[in-house]
Amino acid sequence: MKNWATLEADIDCWMNKHYTPGRGNAKINKIVVHHNASRLTIQGIWNVWQTRQASAHYQVQNDGVIGQLVHDYDTAWHAGSANPTSIGIEHANLTFEPGWTISDACLDNGAHLVAALCLYYGLGRPTWGVNVFGHKSFASTACPGAIAGSQTGGYMHHAQQWYDKMLAEQGSTVAATTPAIPSSVLSVGSNTTSRPTADIQRLVGADPDGVYGVDTTAKVVAWQAAHGLTPDGIWGPMSDAAGFPPAHAVKSGNLEVDGIVGPETVKAYQRRRGLLADGIMGPATVASIQALVGASADGVFDGQNQDLIAASWPALTSYNRGGEGSPGVAALQSRLGTEPDGLLGPDTARAFQAALNEGRI
């Protein structure tokens, strides 16, 4: 974690579906732990959940790196009836059947995360069966493997040690008892600027229906928090300036407009949108682009010409071959002012790079 006290994960890889915005009036009162039944990375489990109606708030990789996929104030789909009142943590496996163990690094950081969550939300000292549960407590499943078996003692021992240490460092002050969001689920924010609400919704990844409702408020809060702004759900002048900087506020020429969208171009976009800047245009980055232009955010550009992709979009990994084009790409092209034929090629690449240099996307 970048910051255990404030629950800032190493990597943010936000889900674009298969979770429920907000928690209604429910309070967080438990942590539910899971195992992957596989050895997945953060991006890997995001990919799995694109086609499976499931999600969890956090993923702990085999090397101990922690990613967040669903905001704490939203409801992940991981533990049935316990979803509204719980936070779900997935763990990558070190070994497979029949042991289903997790690595030392995964165990220690997973336990540390449990402790940090218990402290942050005022749940008390981590205790198995009281405020920490295995998935099998809420469903007929073998999950979470050894975490609810041979490794339970070690996992909870680490969690309690971390809790005691963090509590002492904080002077016995518990940070919060409710999700870290002002009131995005219980009340609706507002747009106090002249910016069309649909444009704001495209920017933050909400449905661009022009209605500033609960879902849009929650997405705005998350976007504001990620960009260092007060997460109050109100789209005012400061949010507008950060989200839609004027062309002169962004240096021109940072990217070479060569018509080849490689890792540096993708990293520039990812940094602009608060994504993991790995230089790979995978599902999360594609979904961000699709949401930005108001297209269905499924994380895949369909109907693309493989030769054009190889020549001018070599960093793109999440696409399907075909050649008939994609509505999402056509929407992007319309946004960039190029011919909306739905096919990614050098002209769209150059327009994409120019728009990044000018701060238009």
SS3 state at 249: helix
Q: What is the pLDDT of residues 209-265, one digit of tens each?
A: 888 887 788 888 877 776 667 777 888 877 887 777 654 333 334 788 899 999 999
172 pLDDT band (50/70/90 cuts)?
very low
The answer for residues whose C-beta is within 8 angstroms of residue 284's C-beta and 6 or more apart is 13, 14, 43, 46, 275, 276, 299
CA distance 100 to 324: 44
The pLDDT value recorded for residue 81 is 92
Main-chain phi, psi angles of 107, to 5 degrees: -65, -50
Name the helix (H) or strand (E) containing 235.
Answer: strand 234-235
Per-residue burial over 311-328, b if 16 or more Cβ lie within 10 Å, else e, is ebbebbebbeeeeebbbb
Stated pTM of the model: 0.52
Structure tokens at 109: 């950081």
Q: Where in the chain are the domains? A: 11-169, 190-244, 249-358
183 pLDDT band (50/70/90 cuts)?
very low
Segment 187-215 mean pLDDT: 81
Architecture label for domain 11-169: 3-Layer(aba) Sandwich (3.40)
Q: What is the pLDDT of residues 112-170, one digit of tens each?
A: 999 999 988 888 899 999 899 999 999 999 999 999 999 999 999 999 999 989 888 87
Structure tokens at 76: 């992940």
Q: Could you give the percent of the chain with pLDDT greater than 70?
A: 91
The pLDDT value recorded for residue 361 is 77
The answer for residues whose C-beta is within 8 angstroms of residue 255's C-beta and 6 or more apart is 264, 265, 268, 353, 356, 357
CA distance 1 to 163: 15
